[in-house]
Amino acid sequence: MNSWITTIVEWYNKNKRDLPWRKTQNPYHIWVSEIILQQTRIEQGINYYHKFIQRFPDINSLAYATLDDILLVWKGLGYYRRAIYMYETAQAIVNNRNGQFPNNYKDLLRLKGIGKYTASAIASICFDEKVAAIDGNVHRIFCRFYASNFNKNSLAFINQVHQDTLEAMSLVSPGIVNQAMMDFGALICKPIKPICHLCVVQNLCVAYKNNCIQHYPSKHKERTKEIIYHYYFFVHDNKQCYLYKRNENDIWKNLYEFPLFTSKTNNTSFLKVPFLHSLDVINSYESEIITHILSHKTIKATFYIVEVEAIKPLQNYTSIPLADLSKYPMSRLMEKFIEKSKIFQKF
């Protein structure tokens, strides 16, 4: 072995993490693991992977499920659009490809919800294709190794990664090379407090030799997030409550929630709740504000708990038994309220 990346592969062979999807080359299983691990910590991802594979063991079982079934298994994982795209992709593979996954990078990239990194991971691990899987770990390792603040999308960076990884892939299985870089970035060349004294390529790492690891990659200033105020109405009669299924084209599409009003200002004077006018209100109070942080905005949510004499049919809202509330896929924000509120303990 004669490249710095193959030295990392040697480290990987002795120190790799015991992850369930590493026991298979089944492209369906690898795909599921890669989609789950987007925006998800690996510790949490393992549990969801087991749960998902148990419920949907193959591409056909996923394609023939209902979206509500899938979103329920995904419940609590967040970024629900990932699950929706998986469902649509599973249907496309079953209907258009007789249930067979594409076996190369270019065809994988044509599938909905599969980007360059995921396509590279599946192609290299399952089909031994010599293609580099470039994620944040790989970017960070290369920036430090060469002491260069590479732009992730720059031609110089992409060329350097492909040159070095393809050299290693001529000696080692492409899937092993990519997984070795993933683990090395996650366990040794970490974003914060890298463990340089255990680094097997520290004698070649320019940033380490120049004592400037902390400068690579450069930190980008985070943009100030927009604050949105949500006002939810949990209206119940101790037997039933109202739910609304979102059809807006956003991250919570197809999820259920209590009737909602939104505002860009913390001012409840705008609130007009006409659907309450037809109901006999017995009691009402509001919850403490729950803060929910998304990648692009921060939500400040207030929940109004409204007890009424009886739940009546209302346009745009579905009435459901309180005992069935857990059967409906909801956003993590809704789940936070249900978990925190003592009122649900009696139902």
| Per annotation, catalytic residue among 10, 34, 129, 226 | 34
Closest CA to 120 of 168, 187, 165: 165
DSSP string, 49-78: HHHHHHH--SHHHHHTS-HHHHHHHHTTS-
Please give the single-letter amino acid code of residue 36. Answer: I
Closest CA to 316 of 267, 248, 270, 269: 248
8 A C-beta contact, residue 118 and residue 105: no
| 43 given a catalytic annotation | no
8 A C-beta contact, residue 270 and residue 264: no
For residue 346, which phi and psi values (nearest 5 degrees)?
A: -90, -10
Compute the C-alpha angle 199/116/80, nearest 5°: 100
8 A C-beta contact, residue 49 and residue 84: no
At what angle are helices 42-55 and 27-36 packed, to 10 degrees?
140
8 A C-beta contact, residue 205 and residue 199: yes
Give the pair of three-digit tokens for residue 308: 């009424």
Residues with a catalytic annotation lie at 34
